[in-house]
A and B are shown apart, each in its own frame.
Chain A
Amino acid sequence: MTALDTGSATNHLLNCQSQSVGATGSSLLDPRLHTRYHELAPNLVPMDYTNDPDCKVPIQLIINMPELMENPFKERIVESFSEAGDGNLSFNDFVDMFSVLSEMAPRELKAIYAFKIYDFNTDNFICKSDLEQTLNKLTREELTPEEVNLVCEKVIEEADLDGDGKLAFADFENMISRAPDFLR
């Protein structure tokens, strides 16, 4: 299990302020982190895991966490870490989510999850409709449809290497790895 970060971070692609969720230990069930998880749904989450209970916190409670609340992609983030894809996180998924979002996660891992987050229809490609949804979430639908269309076409033109009109993971990774924020 990777350690979670406690410090502040620069404008990185996937960075989450984990000050309150900070942990230094390497144990799987870090007490502070579990406290946060428990706080989300005190009635649902047991404090005792010896019987290996199977409980999942529903998505509505997770996206109201202060770290995620203002994020336009919060639903997608939570969905991509949940096993069933519906957004309900078990504690393992919860820990996975914050560990990937922290600063210490390797770049390749972040790229993989970034790809999953932006892939709205989960077909392992970022197609034009995914791009449109991303853009609308980013700009809160302030752009006109023509502008949205133009931007999406430009993105596909720039990043699509194999010419199939959508971004596969390789295209995405190729583009992201050259981004200046990543290189810093």
Chain B
Amino acid sequence: MENTLHHVVLLLSVFFWFIWCVQHQIIAKETEHAKRVSHLSEKHCSIEEMRHFGSSVASYFIFLRWMYGMNLVLFGFTFGLVVIPELLMGLPYGSIPRKTVPRAEQAKAMDFSTLWDFDGYCKYSVLFYGYYNNQRTIGLLKFRLPLAYLMVGIGTFGYSLMVVIRTMASNANESGGDGEDSDFNFSWKMFTSWDYLIGNSETADNKFASITTSFKESIVDEEENQKDENIHLRRFLRVLANVLILCCLGGSGYLIYFVVKRSQDFATRDDLGWYEKNEVEIVMSLLGLVCPPLFESIAELEEYHPRIALKWQLGRIFALFLGNLYTFLFALFDEVNQKLAVEESIKNATTWATHMHYANFTGNTSATPPPIDPADEFVKLTVSDIQVTYITILVGDFLRAVIVRFLNYCWCWDLESGFPSYAEFDISGNVLGLVFNQGVIWMGAFYAPGLVGINVLRLLTSMYYQSWAVMSSNVPHERIFKASRSSNFYMGLLLLILFLSLLPVVYTIMTLPPSFDCGPFSGKSKMFDIILETIELDFPAFVGNIFSYVANPGLIIPAVLLMVLAIYYLNAVSKAYENSNLELKKKMQMQRDEEKNRRNNQDSTNSIMKDLEDLLPIKSGGGKSTAPANKANTNKNDPPQTAKGAGKQGEVSRNGSRVNPEKEMLLAAQNPRIAVTRPPGPRPPGPLPGNPQLTVPGQRGRGQPQRVTSSNQDPLFLTPEGKVASRNWFCDHLCLRLFRAGLPPDNYSGHSFRIGAATSDAFRNIAPHIIKAMGRWNSGAYELYIRKNIFDLLSMQKKTLCD
């Protein structure tokens, strides 16, 4: 029976080892191609599909996947270097007392309930610290198991630390230069977000969803910027919210303290019901369930941007759990200290049935005392945490979704949009659960090597289970927000937890004496001694000398000082770089604004000069960037002239520009505009034709206005070059002005002035012979030029009729 269990564990561990090797490859490739591959090879529910829930939900799953990768590596180390050598080369089960189930317990050792409690055979297996023998070397290869155990324990922390910090650094690198406050945020989103490579309809659907989500996120950001605030009210509300939450935290801390004290009283009693035995765990779980929603509803007073609100929520829940966990730990250490005191005195122990499920032991029999129970506690805590999480998802999300969906048909109010509706994915709760679980794993991994394996299993199933739950029974948040820096925030939390869980373990390694007859360090005064022993016995003498020098405080303190100075220096350098980045950004912004202003000024403030510019002959290849012909500018330069001009029907020059047909663009990718025939020359600052007093105002910066004197022998109308204004020149100019005024040039010609003068004279009842003389008509053709006003005719007719 015992051997079967052993074989099962052996097989399982080999299986895991194999999976680890394979998956490590997959994950390595995955992170390389993470941006290009749209489907993960391990999941049928890819993270890409979840993008339409918002990047914040997707970031949780990315974080989960990263944790899984890290745990796999830790698992690989632990199993490869500790568990498997012990299984393969160590003494088999049953050979020495510490590896055997005590006779008293053997009857129940294989029961499911005992196993579920991690008692019985599970307790006396490789899963726990106590199983390992303290032989210095084992097997043929002289594998130094205790040393390996210690190094793996320390190496776990070292590796985790390195990986977390490296990820934080690379995240900071990526998001550092991101254009969050870029100039053309919305424009780029609109014009460059569609991927023209997409040919698959499912991918297209996902792309549409992600584009929509991205727009919504930016809209939320924009609305936040535009909100008006009543600052004082808001500050007051925020302070009030923080005070309330501090009260809650204090209350929960006191409650835990009270319950732990009570449990220590319970420990002395025998007649405990189920509730009293598990009181601490129940209270802690209840607090963990009730407080976060309470914090969330208080946080609604504060009205933060959703991303910031999430961070506050995370911080508060973190403080809550931290308080709980450390109270728990202190209680544990209290127990351990008490237990050690009892051990040393080798008295008959009284039975301690505490809420910790301490096993009974008697001092009489030769049965070995159980291993230090923190290990047991950690494992049980992890397992119960797994159970609680999964059941919560099942009941809270899935069952709720099912109820809402199917009961909706026969319920009075709309279940889907009112209460209770579908659940939103609780990002903060899940992230913190993950982070704290990892903290527990780190703390417990030293005492229970099997814990890492359990965690790997848990994370793997969690990935699939939670993604299924999200897709099937959750709805996206109402206000989707961008989780741009959140991944670094999660890493920061993880780092903090890592340090906090490092402390107890290091303290134990350095200070507390190990249990004297179980575990790989039994018999030594301190666990750390194994290293010293190895150095003495296995390495040449000078290594030992080096170590003693290095461990000298006189060397360590300057080294620490040097590191502090290096940190300070690097900090200063990075601040300097940040400043210079900001300066560069400002300069670029100024340049862009200048360009904008220049264009604005050109167009709107000086329309006269605009006309002059348009009179310039078109330069080849370049040309103006705005389409001048499309603007209808009234020309102030040429007041409508009522003077008569000579000549016959003028040509109307087609004035306008249009976009080139495609062929021309293909041949030469230039500015697509036809050269327009323009009247020659700009008008320099000088006298307007016909009126020596008026001058063309000079443009700012284009030279001083000049006054050109003229004699009365000069022609009356001059072109800008000073030549006589010919009929063609005049007509061309007229057409241009009319076009700019928005009037159709085709309806007018040089004769229009003659017509206008004749008609207006006739309207004023000037005698016909005078009209004829003024227009220098020789024949009666002048009559044709007098346009008749239809309303005048009508009124005359009325007059004659009425008379």
Given A101-B196, A112-B665: A162 and B222 interface contact (C-beta under 8 Å): no
Choose among A93, A96, A109, A112 the residue with the greatest number of B CB atoms under 10 Å from its CB. A112
Contact with B along A131-155 (1 / 0, CB 8 A): 1001100111011000100110011
B187 touches which of A70, A142, A175 (Cβ 8 Å): A175
On whether the beta carbons of B212 and A142 are closer than 8 Å, the reply is: yes
On whether the beta carbons of A151 and B199 are closer than 8 Å, the reply is: no
A151 touches which of B196, B200, B219, B662 (Cβ 8 Å): B219
On whether the beta carbons of A161 and B212 are closer than 8 Å, the reply is: no
Give every chain B residue within 8 A of A16 (Cβ-Cβ).
196-197
Stretch at the interface among B136-144, B552-560, B597-605, B702-710: B597-605
A182 to B187, CA, bound (A): 13
A139 touches which of B187, B203, B208, B603 (Cβ 8 Å): B208
A137 to B693, CA, bound (A): 60
A170 touches which of B197, B204, B216, B625 (Cβ 8 Å): B625
- Residue B540 at the A interface, CB < 8 A? no
Give every chain A residue within 8 A of B626 (Cβ-Cβ).
162, 168, 170
On whether the beta carbons of B201 and A70 are closer than 8 Å, the reply is: yes
Given A109-B669, A147-B216, A155-B186: A181 and B600 interface contact (C-beta under 8 Å): no
A162 to B603, CA, bound (A): 7
- Residue A104 at the B interface, CB < 8 A? no
- Residue B789 at the A interface, CB < 8 A? no
A115 to B679, CA, bound (A): 32
B194 touches which of A67, A72, A101, A168 (Cβ 8 Å): A72
A11 to B195, CA, bound (A): 6
On whether the beta carbons of B216 and A168 are closer than 8 Å, the reply is: no
- Residue B666 at the A interface, CB < 8 A? yes
Q: In the complex, what's the smallest C-beta–C-beta distance from A13 to chain B, in angstroms?
A: 5
Give every chain A residue within 8 A of B186 (Cβ-Cβ).
151, 154-155, 158
A159 to B185, CA, bound (A): 10
- Residue B192 at the A interface, CB < 8 A? yes
A43 to B795, CA, bound (A): 70
Q: In the complex, what's the smallest C-beta–C-beta distance from A122 to chain B, in angstroms?
A: 10
On whether the beta carbons of B191 and A13 are closer than 8 Å, the reply is: yes
- Residue A53 at the B interface, CB < 8 A? no
Give every chain A residue within 8 A of B625 (Cβ-Cβ).
168-170
B627 touches which of A106, A155, A168 (Cβ 8 Å): A168
A40 to B215, CA, bound (A): 36
Give every chain B residue within 8 A of A138 (Cβ-Cβ).
190, 193-194, 208, 211
Query: Which residue in chain A gives the minimum CB-CB distance to B662?
Result: A96
Give every chain B residue within 8 A of A147 (Cβ-Cβ).
215-216, 219
On whether the beta carbons of B662 and A179 are closer than 8 Å, the reply is: no
Give every chain A residue within 8 A of B600 (Cβ-Cβ).
161-163
On whether the beta carbons of A159 and B184 are closer than 8 Å, the reply is: yes
On whether the beta carbons of B211 and A139 are closer than 8 Å, the reply is: yes
A150 to B190, CA, bound (A): 13
On whether the beta carbons of A11 and B669 are closer than 8 Å, the reply is: no
Given A83-B661, A147-B216, A150-B219: A96 and B194 interface contact (C-beta under 8 Å): no
On whether the beta carbons of B661 and A70 are closer than 8 Å, the reply is: no
Q: In the complex, what's the smallest C-beta–C-beta distance from A176 to chain B, in angstroms?
A: 7
Q: How large is the interface on A (under 10, 10 to 19, 20 to 34, 35 or more residues)?
A: 35 or more
On whether the beta carbons of A158 and B184 are closer than 8 Å, the reply is: yes
Q: In the complex, what's the smallest C-beta–C-beta distance from B665 to chain A, in angstroms?
A: 7
Prevailing SS type, chain B contact patch: helix
* Interface size, chain B (Cβ < 8 Å): 47
Query: Which residue in chain A gives the minimum CB-CB distance to B660?
Result: A112
On whether the beta carbons of B197 and A11 are closer than 8 Å, the reply is: yes
On whether the beta carbons of B196 and A81 are closer than 8 Å, the reply is: no
A95-113 at interface with B (beta carbon < 8 Å) = 96, 101, 106, 108-109, 112
Give every chain B residue within 8 A of A135 (Cβ-Cβ).
190, 215
On whether the beta carbons of B595 and A161 are closer than 8 Å, the reply is: yes
On whether the beta carbons of A140 and B212 are closer than 8 Å, the reply is: yes
Give every chain B residue within 8 A of A182 (Cβ-Cβ).
192
Q: In the complex, what's the smallest C-beta–C-beta distance from B666 to chain A, in angstroms?
A: 6
B590-649 at interface with A (beta carbon < 8 Å) = 595-596, 599-600, 603-604, 625-627, 630
Q: In the complex, what's the smallest C-beta–C-beta distance from B292 to chain A, in angstroms?
A: 31
A180 touches which of B179, B187, B208 (Cβ 8 Å): B179
Give every chain A residue within 8 A of B603 (Cβ-Cβ).
162-163
- Residue B233 at the A interface, CB < 8 A? no
B662 touches which of A14, A81, A118, A168 (Cβ 8 Å): A81
Given A147-B215, A147-B216, A150-B219: A70 and B198 interface contact (C-beta under 8 Å): yes
On whether the beta carbons of A124 and B183 are closer than 8 Å, the reply is: no
B209-225 at interface with A (beta carbon < 8 Å) = 211-212, 215-216, 218-219, 222-223
- Residue B510 at the A interface, CB < 8 A? no
Choose among A70, A108, A182 the residue with the greatest number of B CB atoms under 10 Å from its CB. A70
A3-56 at interface with B (beta carbon < 8 Å) = 8-9, 11-17
Give every chain A residue within 8 A of B184 (Cβ-Cβ).
158-159, 175, 178-179
Q: In the complex, what's the smallest C-beta–C-beta distance from A178 to chain B, in angstroms?
A: 7
Give every chain B residue within 8 A of A134 (Cβ-Cβ).
190-191
On whether the beta carbons of A162 and B669 are closer than 8 Å, the reply is: no
On whether the beta carbons of A70 and B216 are closer than 8 Å, the reply is: no
- Residue A61 at the B interface, CB < 8 A? no
Query: Which residue in chain A gives the minimum CB-CB distance to B186?
Result: A154
On whether the beta carbons of B200 and A70 are closer than 8 Å, the reply is: yes
- Residue A114 at the B interface, CB < 8 A? yes
A59 to B625, CA, bound (A): 33
- Residue B542 at the A interface, CB < 8 A? no
Give every chain B residue within 8 A of A131 (Cβ-Cβ).
190
Given A150-B222, A162-B603, A163-B604: A73 and B216 interface contact (C-beta under 8 Å): no
Query: Which residue in chain A gives the minimum CB-CB distance to B179?
Result: A180
A178 to B604, CA, bound (A): 26
A57-94 at interface with B (beta carbon < 8 Å) = 66-67, 69-73, 81, 83, 93
Query: Which residue in chain A gives the minimum CB-CB distance to B185?
Result: A158
On whether the beta carbons of A181 and B197 are closer than 8 Å, the reply is: no
On whether the beta carbons of B199 and A143 are closer than 8 Å, the reply is: no
A168 to B657, CA, bound (A): 15
Give every chain A residue within 8 A of B190 (Cβ-Cβ).
131, 134-135, 138, 151, 155
Give every chain B residue within 8 A of A72 (Cβ-Cβ).
194, 208
Give every chain A residue within 8 A of B566 (Cβ-Cβ).
none
- Residue B513 at the A interface, CB < 8 A? no
- Residue B672 at the A interface, CB < 8 A? yes
A175 to B595, CA, bound (A): 13
On whether the beta carbons of A112 and B672 are closer than 8 Å, the reply is: yes
Choose among A73, A83, A124, A138 the residue with the greatest number of B CB atoms under 10 Å from its CB. A138
On whether the beta carbons of A151 and B627 are closer than 8 Å, the reply is: no
A131 to B625, CA, bound (A): 21
A8 to B190, CA, bound (A): 23
- Residue B19 at the A interface, CB < 8 A? no
On whether the beta carbons of B599 and A161 are closer than 8 Å, the reply is: yes
A142 to B599, CA, bound (A): 36
Give every chain A residue within 8 A of B212 (Cβ-Cβ).
139-140, 142-143
A13 touches which of B183, B192, B599, B665 (Cβ 8 Å): B192
Query: Which residue in chain B gives the minimum CB-CB distance to A95?
Result: B666
Given A158-B187, A163-B604: A109 and B200 interface contact (C-beta under 8 Å): no
Query: Which residue in chain A gives the minimum CB-CB distance to B226?
Result: A150
On whether the beta carbons of A108 and B191 are closer than 8 Å, the reply is: no
Given A154-B186, A175-B187: A17 and B208 interface contact (C-beta under 8 Å): no
Beyond known contacts A109-B665, A168-B625, A175-B188: 13 more, CB 8 A cutoff: A15-B197, A16-B196, A16-B197, A17-B199, A124-B659, A138-B194, A138-B211, A143-B215, A151-B190, A158-B186, A163-B603, A179-B188, A180-B179
Q: List 17 A-B contacts (CB under 8 A).
A: A11-B195, A11-B197, A69-B199, A70-B203, A96-B662, A108-B669, A112-B669, A138-B194, A139-B208, A139-B212, A140-B208, A143-B216, A147-B216, A154-B185, A162-B626, A170-B625, A176-B192
4 closest A-B pairs by beta carbon, nearest first, are A70-B204, A170-B625, A154-B186, A139-B212
